[in-house]
């Protein structure tokens, strides 16, 4: 069986759940195996209906107040029981903050191998899974396979693959019989920043600002642009370190790794630690007044100019396009 961790947040399935399902679906097709989706959480039973038509054979729900918030003990405990009950050969997750932690915990406790933060997946001539994952902070790509590891744990980088679409088949929904794990850690409180736009790692478009923004007040300009094109707002570390933006907005090696369809970098020089977090974007637009800035090396489109003039113009043009 191929077991997919269908990640939810606040009792709603995340987009990455459908990316993981696509990977699981491909593996199941190749191996002529069954595909199951696991939904863990509290009051999440009804989420199964969101998956039943997505080519899975079974949707396994684990509804437990102890799983309201992610804890490694709670989630790994439940996933291991599911993996054992259903003899999972492959466990697929998304390499989100939760998914990375869970994948590593699962692999350690199941004493198996983990293919972490993969950006593509294929099969070799013997049908073994072969993944590509960035190494050395994205400076190189490595092809990895673990043909004998079972269950093999695979965590895919968010937005590296498409989402699975409905196939029309109807899955069986099973309330899984899983014993609650003894939790050694407890989530006391979740402090959320008020995010009015889209979550960074799930955003299809990101507008990012760096030190060139000159101050926190100028991000209002990026937020306006973001609002018009339904984008999330990101930042470089320089902007975060200066206290202009929250750390959760940081893109890069010590921030978030993103891969939107469109990444607009404004006043960002393109240091390697920033590039690591965004070079997998499908289209990169850079606005910088320095024509020699490193960001132009990775940009598909470069605008050499003062962002304080360019960004309002872009906003205006996008607004006009939307009105047409
Ligand atoms: C261990 C480590 C981890 C790191 N992790 C990260 C990370 O996760 N993310 C990250 O971003 N960085 C990270 N950094 C920092 C990184 O090395 C850079 O210092 C940082 O990315 C620079 O941010 P910046 O491009 O905004 O600033 P700068 O390098 O100062 O660039 C500002 C740019 O704005 C342009 N500019 C200025 N005014 C205007 C204007 N009016 N119009 C248009 N352009 C203008 C300038 O030409 C310049 O290119 C890390 C560093 C280390 C050592």
| Domain containing residue 288: CATH number | 3.40.50.1220
> Ligand 1 mean position to 158 CA, how many Å?
24
CA distance 280 to 276: 8
Domain limits at 9?
Answer: 2-175
Q: Is pLDDT at 196 greater than 80 in this prediction?
A: no
Phi, psi angles (nearest 5°) of residue 270: 95, 40
For ligand 1, is residue 256 a contact (CB within 6 Å)?
no
**69-123, pLDDT tens digit by residue?**
999 999 999 999 999 999 999 999 999 999 999 999 999 999 999 999 999 999 9
Question: At 22, which CATH number?
Answer: 3.40.50.620
Q: What percent of the chain has pLDDT over 70?
A: 98
3-state secondary structure of 93: strand
Q: Is pLDDT at 8 greater than 80 in this prediction?
A: yes
Looking at the structure, tell me whether residues 143 and 36 fall in a common domain: yes
Closest CA to 251 of 236, 270, 268: 236
Looking at the structure, tell me whether residues 106 and 237 fall in a common domain: no
Phi and psi based region of residue 123 (left: phi greater than 0; alpha: psi -120 to 50; beta: remaining)? beta
Looking at the structure, tell me whether residues 152 and 249 fall in a common domain: no
Looking at the structure, tell me whether residues 204 and 307 fall in a common domain: yes
Specify if 186 maps to a domain: no
Closest CA to 137 of 276, 281, 279: 276
Looking at the structure, tell me whether residues 230 and 284 fall in a common domain: yes
Under a CB-based contact definition with an 8 Å cutoff, are residues 241 and 295 in contact? no
Specify if 144 maps to a domain: yes
Looking at the structure, tell me whether residues 241 and 319 fall in a common domain: yes
Specify if 187 maps to a domain: no
pLDDT given at position 324: 79
> Ligand 1 mean position to 284 CA, how many Å?
16
Under a CB-based contact definition with an 8 Å cutoff, are residues 275 and 254 in contact? no
Under a CB-based contact definition with an 8 Å cutoff, are residues 232 and 199 in contact? yes
Specify if 182 maps to a domain: no
Looking at the structure, tell me whether residues 156 and 291 fall in a common domain: no
CA distance 89 to 323: 51
Looking at the structure, tell me whether residues 170 and 262 fall in a common domain: no
Phi, psi angles (nearest 5°) of residue 231: -110, 165
Phi, psi angles (nearest 5°) of residue 25: -65, -45
Looking at the structure, tell me whether residues 148 and 244 fall in a common domain: no
Specify if 191 maps to a domain: no
For ligand 1, is residue 267 a contact (CB within 6 Å)?
yes
For ligand 1, is residue 290 a contact (CB within 6 Å)?
yes
> Ligand 1 mean position to 119 CA, how many Å?
25
Under a CB-based contact definition with an 8 Å cutoff, are residues 37 and 91 in contact? no
Looking at the structure, tell me whether residues 319 and 224 fall in a common domain: yes
Phi, psi angles (nearest 5°) of residue 261: -70, -35
CA distance 234 to 245: 8
Task: Tabulate helix, strand, coil % of the chain (nearest 5).
Answer: 35, 25, 40
Specify if 189 maps to a domain: no
> Ligand 1 mean position to 304 CA, how many Å?
16
- The strand pair at 262-266 and 205-209 is best described as parallel
For ligand 1, is residue 271 a contact (CB within 6 Å)?
yes
The residues pairing with 90 across neighbouring beta strands, listed in sequence order, are: 2, 152
**147-175, pLDDT tens digit by residue?**
999 999 999 999 999 999 998 889 999 99
The residues pairing with 304 across neighbouring beta strands, listed in sequence order, are: 288
Specify if 155 maps to a domain: yes
> Ligand 1 mean position to 192 CA, how many Å?
26
Looking at the structure, tell me whether residues 105 and 220 fall in a common domain: no
- Closest residue by Cα to atom 19, ligand 1, is 238
Q: HEC states along 243-271?
A: CCCCHHHEECCCCECCCCCEEEEECCCCC
Looking at the structure, tell me whether residues 167 and 219 fall in a common domain: no
> Ligand 1 mean position to 316 CA, how many Å?
26
For ligand 1, is residue 286 a contact (CB within 6 Å)?
no
**249-291, pLDDT tens digit by residue?**
999 999 999 999 999 999 999 999 999 999 999 999 999 999 9
Specify if 195 maps to a domain: no
How many structural domains are present in the chain? 2
pLDDT range class, residue 195, cuts 50, 70, 90: low
For ligand 1, is residue 274 a contact (CB within 6 Å)?
yes
Out of 175, 191, 209, pick the residue that ends a domain. Answer: 175
């Amino acid at each position: 069986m191929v077991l997919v961790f269908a990640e939810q947040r606040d009792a709603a399935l995340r987009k990455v759940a459908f990316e993981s399902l696509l990977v699981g679906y491909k593996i199941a097709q190749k191996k002529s195996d069954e595909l199951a989706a696991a939904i863990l959480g509290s009051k999440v039973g009804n989420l199964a209906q969101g998956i039943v038509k997505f080519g899975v054979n079974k949707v396994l729900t684990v509804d437990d107040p102890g799983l309201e918030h992610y804890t490694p003990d709670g989630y790994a405990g439940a996933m291991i029981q599911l993996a054992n009950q259903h003899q999972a050969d492959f466990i697929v997750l998304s390499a989100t903050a939760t998914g990375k932690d869970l994948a590593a915990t699962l692999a350690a406790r199941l004493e198996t191998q983990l293919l972490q933060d993969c950006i593509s997946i294929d099969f070799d001539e013997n049908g073994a899974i072969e993944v590509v994952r960035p190494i050395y902070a994205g400076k190189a790509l490595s092809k990895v396979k673990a043909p004998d590891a079972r269950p093999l744990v695979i965590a895919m980088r968010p937005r590296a693959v498409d989402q699975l679409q409905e196939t029309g088949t109807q899955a069986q929904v099973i309330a899984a019989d899983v014993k609650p794990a003894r939790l050694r850690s407890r989530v006391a409180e979740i402090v959320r920043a008020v995010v009015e736009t889209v979550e960074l790692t799930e955003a299809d478009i990101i507008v990012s600002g760096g030190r060139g923004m000159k101050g926190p007040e100028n991000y209002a300009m990026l937020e306006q642009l973001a609002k018009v094109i339904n984008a999330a707002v990101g930042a470089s570390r320089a902007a975060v370190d200066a206290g202009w933006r929250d750390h959760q907005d940081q893109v890069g090696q010590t921030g978030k790794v993103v891969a939107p369809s469109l990444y607009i970098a404004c006043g960002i020089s393109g240091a390697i630690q920033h590039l690591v977090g965004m070079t997998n974007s499908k289209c990169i637009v850079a606005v910088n007044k320095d024509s020699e800035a490193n960001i132009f090396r990775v940009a598909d489109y470069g605008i050499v100019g003062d962002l304080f003039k360019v960004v309002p113009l872009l906003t205006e043009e996008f607004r006009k396009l939307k009105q047409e």
